[in-house]
Every structure is written in C-alpha cells, then in structure tokens.
Structure 1
Amino acid sequence: MKYTKLSAAAALAAGSALFLSACAPAGPADENGDGNGSGENGGGQEVFTGENGEKYTVEPSDSGKADLGEVEPKDGSVAYSVGEDEFSSYNGVQSNTYSTYNSAVVDRLFSGFFYFGTDGEIIRDETFGTYEKVSDEPLQVKYTIADDAKWSDGTDVTALDFQLQWAADNGNIKNEDDGQLFDSVSSSMGDYVDDMPEGDPAGKEFTVTYNEPYADWEIMVSTALPAHVVAREAGMSTEDLAKAIEEKDAKALKPAAEFWNDGWDFKPGELPEDEDLIPSMGPYKLKQGGWTAGQFITLEVNEDYWGEKPATKELVIRFAAADTHVQALQNKELDVIEPQATVDTLQQLEGLGDQVVVQTGDQLTWEHLDFNRGEGSVFADSAELREAFALCVPRQQIVDNLIKPINEDAEVMNLREVFPFQENYDEVVEAAYPKEMDEPNIDKAKELVEKSGESKPKVRIGYNSPNPRRTEIVSMIKSSCDEAGFEIVDAGNANFFTEVLPAGDFDVALFAWAGSGQKASGRNIYHSTGAQNDMQYSNPDVDAAWDKLAGSLDEKVQLEQVKEIEKLLWEDYQAIPLFAHPGILGQAADLANVRDTATQSGALWNVEQWVRVQ
C-alpha cells in the first residue's frame, strides 16, 4: 500500500483514496480491418478500439470522463478488488478509515465540485455544482451546489453539509483532551479558514474566506458527508447544528462529533437496516443484503442520482488478496485488476491472451528512500553518511532491472515534487539537481564513511513486507553500498507502517508517496511542523520556501519555490527519489470504457461508465 500525500483537501477526499494515460484511442482501422478503429457490437452500438485493444462506447477526447449521453443501466455487474481488507465505514475520511480499501467503496457514494483527470488535471464537475474565485485579497471562493443535487433520502445537498465538513476538518475545535473534536484525517480547513463558510445552511450557496492566500485553494473543498443525518442522530435540529458550527462550540458539537466519529462504522457484513442512515449523492448506493463478510460488498444504481446514471447496474468490490488477482481475472471473478507492476505480473497477464486487455503507464506515485533523522538512527547527525549512502544507491540499475521491462520509457526520477512526464521537470532539474548523482560513486562514498568516524555503519532499510520489488531494491542497494563500507540490513516488516515507522526503529524508509493535482501537499512531509513528517526532518530554509509556495497564488512564484525546495532537499540528501511508479491495469476484454489513470484515484475513477460489450 502506498502512503498518500495529504493535501489540505485530504479529508474532503471521500472522492480520492490512494497514472499518464496509456490508452488514448487511435484513428480508424486500415482497409483490411486490422489495427485500431471502430465497429459495432452485437447490440448495434458502435464501439471504438484503443491502441492497447481496450474498448470505448464513446471515444475520450481529453483526460476527463467521456460524455456518454443518456444511459440506461445494463443488467449485471462489474467486479474489482483493491485487496483483502474489509470495508469498514461509510465515513471514509476518519483517521482510521482513510484507506484505498474503504475509498474504493465510499467514493462511489459521493459527488463533488471536481475530480482528477487521467493526467492529474483538476476537472470541474458542473453536474454537482460550480465555484469561482471572487477575491484575491482576501482569498474568497464562492460555491454553488446544483439545484437538483439531492441525497438518496430526498434531502437537498446544502451548504450545511460543507459547513459541517469545515468543522470536522478543524483542528482548532478541541475535545476535552485538547485533541481534534472530530476524528478527521485532516485539520487543514481550520488552519486556512478561520470562520465557517458563509451562507444559508439550508441554501445552495456558500463562500469560503481564507486567512491568507493558499496555492491549493481549488482542491480544498470537494465533497461532504450528510449533515442532516449527523444532526438527527445527535438529537439536534439542523438549525442548532449550524449555530454550534458557526460558534465553534465544542460542547454543543460533542454529540455530533461522537456520531461522526463512530456512528457510521460497521461490523463486517452488517449494513444498517435504515437506508436513510447511509444516503448516497453519487451514482451508486450500498445494496441492502449485498455485503458478505470476508468476500465482497455490492453497490447498486442510485435511482435518485441527478447526474449520468451508471452504465452497469451493480458494482461488486471483492475482498481478495493481491496475489490472487491475476487468477481471479482469468476465472472472471474480477473484471479489472491493478496489480503491482512487476515483470512477472506483466508476463502473467500477457499470457492470458485475447481474454484480457493490458494497459500500462506512469503513475503520479513515486518510490523513494527517506533518512530517519530521529534519535537512534545512524543518519540522525551525520551529513557524511547521508551523502555516502546517496552516492552508493544504484538508482539507474534499479530502474533498468525492475521498471524498464514494464515501461520502456521509464527513467530515474531526480525530483520529488515534479514527475519526469510533467511540464517544468527539465527546468527544475537544471536548477536543483546535482548531476554527480547520476551514477554511484563508491570511492567517494568510502571516503565519506571513513570521514564520519563510523566503522561499518549498519543501515536498516525498512519497508512494508512482503513486497518482492522492494526486496529486490534492497538487495541491489546492499550489493553496492556494502562495497562503500556500509552494512545494509533488509528490515522489511509486515507492520512497518503501523509499528516500525511510528517507533522510528529504522534508518532508511523505502516506500512511495501518492498524489494527484496538489501543489503544496509536500509541505505536509518536509516542513518541520508537517503532520506527515515522520522522518523528523527540519530545515528552516525549507520551511520558509514551503510557506512562501503555499501562500502564493502566482504560478511563477510557486515554480521558483519548488526549485529552491528541491535544491535544499538535495543538499540535505533528504528523500532520495528513485522512480515514478509504472502502472499495470488488466481488464476483461469485453468491458468497455476502462481507462488507466496516473492519479491515486485508481481505475475506479470512472467505474460508473464501465459496461460490457460484445
């Protein structure tokens, strides 16, 4: 599982959990009918074929969702699996439920003001509503929810839903223990927006006023949980809830927070009988009786959804171990899979022949090595050892051996905030990257180890295991860095993220950060006060650069600060980038409109458009 970089909008990402598209449709078929083009399926509907053999009922024209027009949901189901972890909560944005496993389900139940296109572009969803920046000083954004936007229980989606979300994502509204009252994965709204979004709680409009400019303002507000349900279950009127939110009255909000924190958490296989407790404002809703613990959960068409209806009536999310997915695809138990991209997996999928279509491409997820700067780590106070380790890591060999066989265009990634396939990458590399890092320098690394005064320093490389690719990466690093005087130890652990990382019981962490269209999400990782600064890294100059970037609406200023941040991080040898993750998507050949994406949303980003064709 990848760690997700939490932007300020993280807790509103009930539409974003945990790729550039490699499936752009090609032109018409040649005279012999070979190659890419279009044809008709048995039902008389025209079907277009992409360059990998994938099918479309409507050719995509950009990175956003294709306009399928009027859709009549087709009988049957489509099946997908993230992994074997069980669905656990309708509220997927609590600190203990924000995961790719939960998001796979709950993201289908919600709509929002935007979504990410296949290349990470922010695409406004005007079916849900509109927004506009109405002022720069102060930064103000006005949101208008669509008139026909309703929850499946018939209640209007209103400003109160978003006002409650502001309170939930507000670290300044405290409980008795001085912790955040609502157990949200994010506290950013309270940091950047002092006051409740202004607007009639029962109305369709609200305005967010920022304390200061914020680079990622466009993705701060996306979707929200149903405030009317929270009010009802807390024994409050919606008017009383709105008043408590506006006054930031923690005591009055306590019953609402108690329900928000726990009331939507379910035991495996047990959905509440009262459907009004779990209303949908998305294309699908949870199907009563459709959850079999340990096996699958079924979603069905939300007949009350005002937007484009799903192309297929049911979506089945299976709880299946990752190492079973290829076989499950072959057995038609799954229709779409996204296994870890390894040479073996690609060969297995290709071995299934015409039964499946394989899409590959880059992801907005990057692999890296992070130094633990905390007490007890060999790298805590030694600049010499950090540089020596960076100089002996065989980054090009890792890419050549493990990534290029999957994506022949793959290259070593030399930045943290810009990907090789994104605009400005070369410009930032030129300004910030030390070219001597292109190849290992074992001799110089040896000198630095000797200079450090440490004799054969032991380096524990921690990662979440089992993970064959990361095991191979550590093996390559050991072969190279042991020659430089280190003793590399494979410290892979099944509980790395839950136990080892929090305890700081490692020297280097090997994992991935996943993102989408954020500009300032890295601040959460590299700033001294960042909530995801697990490495205890601190550099006042880096802090200042992040603050300037996050506080500017000027793209030129943002770019210059990215250059400064990257330069400083290289000087500190903090977070050594390795590569952008290659993505592999395997799908049933008779399923249309499946589109690979570079973003953390995964293949399900447009699942409501998946449909079988002949």
Structure 2
Amino acid sequence: MKYTKLSAAAALAAGSALMLSACAPAGPAASGDGSEAAGSGDASASGSGEVLTGDKGQKLTAKADGPSMADLGDVKTEDGSIAYSVGADDFLSYNGVQSNTYTTYNSAVVDRMFSSFYYFGTDGSIIRNEDFGKYEKVSDDPLKVKYTINEDAKWSDGTPVTAADFIVQWAADNPTITDPNGEKDEEGNLPPLFDSITGDPGTYIPEAPEGEADSKEFTVTYAEPYADWEILIGSALPAHVIAEQSGMELTELVDAAKAKDAEALAPAAKFWNEKWDFNPGELPDPALTPSMGPYKFKENGWQAGQSITLEANPEYWGTPAATKELVLRFADPKTHVQSLQNGDLDVIEPQATVDTLEQLKGLGDQVNIQTGDQLTWEHIDYNRGKGSVFADSPELREAFALCVPRQDIVDKLIKPIYPEAKVMNAREVFPFQDTYDEVIAESYNTELDQPNIEKAKELVEKSGVDKPTVRLGYQAGNPRRTETVALIKSSCDQAGFDIQDTNSTVFFKEVLPAGDFDAALFAWSGSGQKASGANIYKTTGAQNQMNYSNPEVDAAWDKLASSLDEAEQFEQVKKIEKLLWEDFQAIPLYAHPGIVGHNANVANVRDTAAQSGALWNVEQWKRVQ
C-alpha cells in the first residue's frame, strides 16, 4: 500500500500519508490528542458504568454517533494494558517525519504522543479538535488562518505548547532553507537543511507563522489560496528541546527560523535529523522525548524486537487515556490471529482475505469482528516510461482496460469478505461517498463494466504488436494480488496479451523506481484531502512514478488546489476523472475492505474508513466485563 502525501505537520498529528510497500495491516492512529471533538456522540451512558452494544456488535462505554470520537464523559485512567500490533518492524525514532523514519510502524508509536488541531473521523472527514486549540480563516485574499492553542496545553515536562513549536516546525518543513554544505542535485539545487518528508508548509506559506515565541496564538499567510489549508498545520515537535540540545535560547532558535537563517539553524537541524533516532531497546532521557498527547514512553518499556510500552501521560490536560498502558508488539502479521486467540494481542487489523475472516469467525464469541469500507483503493497503473509496452500505444492501453475483469475480481475476491463491495469507477471519490454517483455519471464510460474481449483483440491487432507482453508487477507476499493477476491473465490472454506475474520482494524499493514493469498493481490511501492526487497525476508530481503527463490534467489540478470554492473544486474533480479515463490511466478496481478483530471484552474499538486504522481512538479503549 502507498499513501498519498500530507504535510509533515499533518502527518505528525494524523499518522497519514505514509510511503510504504506494505499492504497489510492498516495504518497508525488518526489523532494524537486523546480529546473529544466538537459534535461528538451522545454521552447518555458516560460515566454510568453501563456497557452499550454498537451496531457492529462491539462493546461501547458511550454512544458513538457520527464519525468523531464519542464523548466518554468523566474518564479516569484504569490500571491494565491493551496490546496491538501494526507489524513486525521495530520502533525507530521519536521524530517520525523524517525520510528514514516515516512508516506506519513508527507512527503507531509516536502518534500517541502528539496533539493536533484536527483529526480524521471514521469516514475520513476532518474533525476539529478544540480541546487542543482552534483555528479560523480570517482572510481569503490573501488566505490567512489564525491558530489559538489551548491555554492548558503543555508538554509532559511542564513546558507550555506555544507558537514557538509551530514556527520551528514550519522551518523544518521548508525546502527553501537549504544546507549550504549539502550535495547539489542534477539541477544544481542544494538539499533542504532539515530532513523532513514534506516541503508543503514552507512552499505554500513562504514566511514564518506570525506570533511571539511564548504566545498561544499564531497566524499563517498563504502565497495563494490552497484547497487543503485545513490540514496543512496540525502538530509540531518540541522546539524547547531542539533549542536546548542545539545550545540555543528558544527565542534565538525562533528568530533564526523566522529569518530562514540556515547557518544559525544548522545545529538545530543536526539534532532534528539525527538525535531522536534510537538504538533498539534504548530509549533516551525522557527530557528529550516529552509528550503532549495521552500517552508517553514508559521507562524501560522497550524490548528490542519484541514490543514497546507506552503509559498514560499524567500531565495531559485533555481527556485522559482510559487504560494505563498500551503495548505495541512487533509481530509478523501472519501470527496476529493466533496471537489474538491466545491473548498476546487484543486488537488486530489483518489483511482482509476470505481465509482470515474465516479464521476470526472460528474464534467464536471470544472476539468481535468489524468489516467495512476503507479510503484505500486498489488499482492498476500503466508505466508510460521508456521500455514499457504501454509507453507509446494508446491502442494497447485501451485494450488492456477492456479485458481486465474488474467485476469478476470484486465478486470472487472482495464480496466474500464484504458483500456490499462494488467495482470502483473513480479515483478521487469512493463508492460509499455521497458525490460518487454524480462524478462517475459525468466521467465514466459504462462500456468498461464488463470485459469486451473482441474489441480488445481488434485494438491489439491495430497496435501492430504481436502478442504484447505485460509485466504486471506488485509487492510479493500478497495472496489477493496473486489471485487478481491470475484472473487478469485468464481474461486478457484471450485478447492477445501475454500477462506475466512479475511480483517482487523489492517491488517498491527497486522495481518501481527503475521502471522495470509495464503495469503496477498496488493501492493508494488517503484521508480528508482534496488536492493530494495532484502529487500522483500531475506531470511534476513527486509520486508520479508512471511518467504520466497531460497538460489538461495539470491545469485542472492547479485550479482545484488554488480554489477555496467547494463547488469549483468538485467541478475540477469531475474533469480530472474524465480525463484520466480517456487516457486509461490508473484503472480503479475496488475500495479495500477492512477487518478489525478484537477481544470481545475490549470496549470502544471502532473501525474507520480512514487510513489511520483502528488506533485512531486507542486512548478510548478499555476492558469491560
């Protein structure tokens, strides 16, 4: 699975946009705040000790209405622990937004330690978290947004969360602050001073946030309107720690950030880039890793290669964690069902396959099972680069689209898991979203509903290529994709293609970057974003690994991204979808079904469509009778 790009600040808060090769299990938490959002559910049962039954059979301690966190009322942290695993990879770094630490595995840990101005709800919508702070758009021209941090918000070492944290985070996410001693790229550009996974805040907000270092308020001004302005600023790493470890006063560091002074910022960048990365099992002095979320590192709680334990943060000002300890185990996904059965894990999110679902059902009343749509979609992308059979042949691209048995794939591989599953006919909207029908009505040709082998044969002949070979690549170790390729081969070989299954253990790491494939089978995932697809389909997009280019698509994305008018944004989405279908680029297959299995005595586990996965509200999980 690959994840569409967010800002580092948003990712730090939301655990989103992770660039991964893994397809299972699901991603990390949507919120590091542990607080209820405005508009959360009915609190009629809060604090009463009553256990409710949710509409999916799971246990709840408060009614959960809508996509936001339920209001649990007066929460007191209870002794005990709950165990979860995102996969086998060990923890890496407190700074989870560097190029070498930005993974689901790492975010599953650090996202518990940060609060944010927003989080993603169960339907992927943006939920404002006013327990952390508030934000308001104060001007459209120029686009200007004011942020106010909760007066009580503080780090676990007692230091207040202030504008200083966000000003320094902006500098870290600013690609125009470059390393004068770095190695230039082929175009002669120096690398950014800070190793951040994004440059969006510094790109869209060219000048530093306005505000005093010790203030609870700051304002950002955009160079031009930006559709995703609500999620560009989310959370921040602790500026006071960076300053102290860099031998600087906090005001000195903030002034250097505002001035974009690379020389003055060099010591801070060195610490930011290197000193929050740990050796397995060796957590540093807690003073280096304060928390402003519901959990913090437990002393001696990291067992290398086994697990890391977090404990409730006693200095957290918001709703406290419901359970004292959260154990995050480093366990092979193949072992998760067995570990759930024997009690080593309490909550799992295995890849949704028929076999896995049957295994979970076999555990009977011991577990609850939740299934549903996810904002993750499977697709086939054409490689248009040199050496690909699809590079210069619109006939072969159309022929392949006409022979892929999309309905058959959904019927055989997805519906047995999730009966409501449908073939997906768009890329930027999902079948379960309200605008989907209108989008496909104006962009999609129903001729593609079922394979048309005869027409595909004619197009193959017209291409002049005799028995064109299609190397269909994907990350090895994914049974569902292996079955998908087999179904495609069975159909498309009849049209004159020679489909070859070229899965690889290094598909994302080596094969995809080298362009050594004709078509790629993988998934994109995102939450609450409007313009992130530009990074995939624009000619200059950083995630455009298919060498796709269409000036009309580029222009539509530019218009969408620079508009604050939702009606205009929607018109551009429809235009983009129509153009992508005309180009037969990124053939959608289906929205991923999700599975969450959990101990029947763990309450408040709620599945989500967002890529953040079950951990999105982990601070609300608790054991009940």
TM bracket, shorter-chain basis: over 0.9
Q: Provide the residue aligned with 2:385 in structure 1.
A: 374
Superposed, which structure 2 residues align to 1:32-47 within 5 Å?
A: 45-47=49-51
* Shift in Å, 1:12: 4.1
Does structure 1 conserve the Cα–Cα contact (< 8 Å) formed by 2:444 and 2:578? yes
SS in 2 for 1:13: helix
Superposed, which structure 2 residues align to 1:515-594 within 5 Å?
A: 515-594=526-605
Question: Letter of the aligned partner of 1:60 in structure 2?
Answer: A
Rate the CA distance shift 1:10–1:461 in 2: closer, same or farther, 3 A: farther
Superposed, which structure 2 residues align to 1:380-529 within 5 Å?
A: 380-529=391-540
Q: Which of 170, 173, 176 is the aligned partner of 1:172?
A: 176
Q: 2:15 aligned with 1:4, yes or no?
A: no
* Shift in Å, 1:8: 4.1
Q: Provide the residue aligned with 1:291 in structure 2.
A: 302
Q: Provide the residue aligned with 1:69 in structure 2.
A: 73
Q: Which of 306, 314, 320 is the aligned partner of 2:325?
A: 314
Cα separation, 2, equivalents of 1:39 and 1:234: 50
Cα separation, 1, equivalents of 2:450 and 2:377: 19
Does structure 2 conserve the Cα–Cα contact (< 8 Å) formed by 1:140 and 1:210? yes
Question: Letter of the aligned partner of 1:559 in structure 2?
Answer: F
Question: Letter of the aligned partner of 2:236 in structure 1?
Answer: A
Cα separation, 2, equivalents of 1:233 and 1:260: 9
Give TM-score, length-normalised by structure 1.
Answer: 0.95
Superposed, which structure 2 residues align to 1:138-157 within 5 Å?
A: 138-157=142-161
SS in 1 for 2:576: helix
Question: Letter of the aligned partner of 1:5 in structure 2?
Answer: T
Cα separation, 1, equivalents of 2:497 and 2:555: 34
Rate the CA distance shift 1:106–1:258 in 2: closer, same or farther, 3 A: same
Does structure 2 conserve the Cα–Cα contact (< 8 Å) formed by 1:129 and 1:143? yes
Q: Provide the residue aligned with 1:219 in structure 2.
A: 231
Does structure 2 conserve the Cα–Cα contact (< 8 Å) formed by 1:14 and 1:106? no
* Shift in Å, 1:179: 1.0
Cα separation, 2, equivalents of 1:401 and 1:533: 30
Show CA shifts across 1:279-307 (max 9, x none). Answer: 00000001110110111000001000000
Question: Letter of the aligned partner of 1:487 in structure 2?
Answer: D
Superposed, which structure 2 residues align to 1:186-335 within 5 Å?
A: 186-272=198-284, 274-335=285-346
Which ranges in structure 1 are unaligned for 5 or more consecutive residues?
20-37
Q: Which of 47, 57, 61 is the aligned partner of 1:57?
A: 61
* Shift in Å, 1:140: 0.3
Question: Letter of the aligned partner of 1:235 in structure 2?
Answer: G
* Shift in Å, 1:39: 13
Does structure 2 conserve the Cα–Cα contact (< 8 Å) formed by 1:115 and 1:125? yes
Q: Provide the residue aligned with 1:182 in structure 2.
A: 194
Cα separation, 2, equivalents of 1:306 and 1:66: 18
Cα separation, 1, equivalents of 2:291 and 2:398: 52
Does structure 2 conserve the Cα–Cα contact (< 8 Å) formed by 1:419 and 1:425? yes
Question: Letter of the aligned partner of 1:419 in structure 2?
Answer: F
Cα separation, 2, equivalents of 1:275 and 1:179: 31
* Shift in Å, 1:260: 0.8
* Shift in Å, 1:252: 1.4
Cα separation, 1, equivalents of 2:56 and 2:256: 54
* Shift in Å, 1:52: 2.8
Cα separation, 2, equivalents of 1:39 and 1:45: 11
Does structure 2 conserve the Cα–Cα contact (< 8 Å) formed by 1:528 and 1:539? yes
Q: 2:129 aligned with 1:125, yes or no?
A: yes
Rate the CA distance shift 1:444–1:10 in 2: closer, same or farther, 3 A: farther
Q: Provide the residue aligned with 1:35 in structure 2.
A: none
Cα separation, 1, equivalents of 2:168 and 2:258: 9
Does structure 2 conserve the Cα–Cα contact (< 8 Å) formed by 1:39 and 1:46? no
Does structure 1 conserve the Cα–Cα contact (< 8 Å) formed by 2:10 and 2:235? no
Does structure 2 conserve the Cα–Cα contact (< 8 Å) formed by 1:8 and 1:216? no
Cα separation, 1, equivalents of 2:101 and 2:277: 9
Cα separation, 2, equivalents of 1:251 and 1:393: 55
Q: Which of 97, 105, 110 is the aligned partner of 2:109?
A: 105
Question: Letter of the aligned partner of 2:212 in structure 1?
Answer: D
SS in 2 for 1:46: coil
Q: Provide the residue aligned with 1:16 in structure 2.
A: 15
* Shift in Å, 1:219: 0.7
Cα separation, 2, equivalents of 1:481 and 1:10: 44
User: 175-184 or 601-610, which moves further after superposition?
Assistant: 175-184
Does structure 1 conserve the Cα–Cα contact (< 8 Å) formed by 2:44 and 2:62? no
Cα separation, 2, equivalents of 1:235 and 1:536: 45
Q: Which of 593, 603, 606 is the aligned partner of 2:614?
A: 603
Q: 2:376 aligned with 1:346, yes or no?
A: no
Rate the CA distance shift 1:217–1:44 in 2: closer, same or farther, 3 A: closer
Structure 1 moving runs of 4+ over 2 Å: 7-15, 38-41
Does structure 2 conserve the Cα–Cα contact (< 8 Å) formed by 1:181 and 1:254? yes
* Shift in Å, 1:443: 1.0
Show CA shifts across 1:492-514 (max 9, x none). Answer: 11111111111111111111111
Cα separation, 2, equivalents of 1:548 and 1:8: 20
Rate the CA distance shift 1:86–1:476 in 2: closer, same or farther, 3 A: same
Cα separation, 2, equivalents of 1:483 and 1:490: 16
Cα separation, 2, equivalents of 1:7 and 1:385: 34
Cα separation, 2, equivalents of 1:189 and 1:218: 12
SS in 2 for 1:186: coil
Does structure 2 conserve the Cα–Cα contact (< 8 Å) formed by 1:170 and 1:191? yes
Q: Percent identity?
A: 68
Give TM-score, length-normalised by structure 2.
Answer: 0.93
Does structure 1 conserve the Cα–Cα contact (< 8 Å) formed by 2:380 and 2:519? yes
Question: Letter of the aligned partner of 2:62 in structure 1?
Answer: V
Q: Provide the residue aligned with 2:31 in structure 1.
A: none
Question: Letter of the aligned partner of 2:80 in structure 1?
Answer: G
Cα separation, 2, equivalents of 1:582 and 1:466: 18
* Shift in Å, 1:15: 2.4
* Shift in Å, 1:11: 5.4
* Shift in Å, 1:44: 7.6
Cα separation, 2, equivalents of 1:217 and 1:411: 32
Q: Which of 111, 114, 119 is the aligned partner of 2:118?
A: 114
Cα separation, 1, equivalents of 2:170 and 2:513: 28
Question: Letter of the aligned partner of 1:190 in structure 2?
Answer: G
Does structure 1 conserve the Cα–Cα contact (< 8 Å) formed by 2:13 and 2:119? no
Cα separation, 1, equivalents of 2:509 and 2:499: 23
SS in 1 for 2:269: helix
Cα separation, 1, equivalents of 2:122 and 2:246: 40
Rate the CA distance shift 1:201–1:435 in 2: closer, same or farther, 3 A: same
Cα separation, 1, equivalents of 2:405 and 2:168: 49
Rate the CA distance shift 1:230–1:267 in 2: closer, same or farther, 3 A: same
Question: Letter of the aligned partner of 1:261 in structure 2?
Answer: N
Rate the CA distance shift 1:333–1:594 in 2: closer, same or farther, 3 A: same
Cα separation, 1, equivalents of 2:341 and 2:210: 53
SS in 2 for 1:135: strand
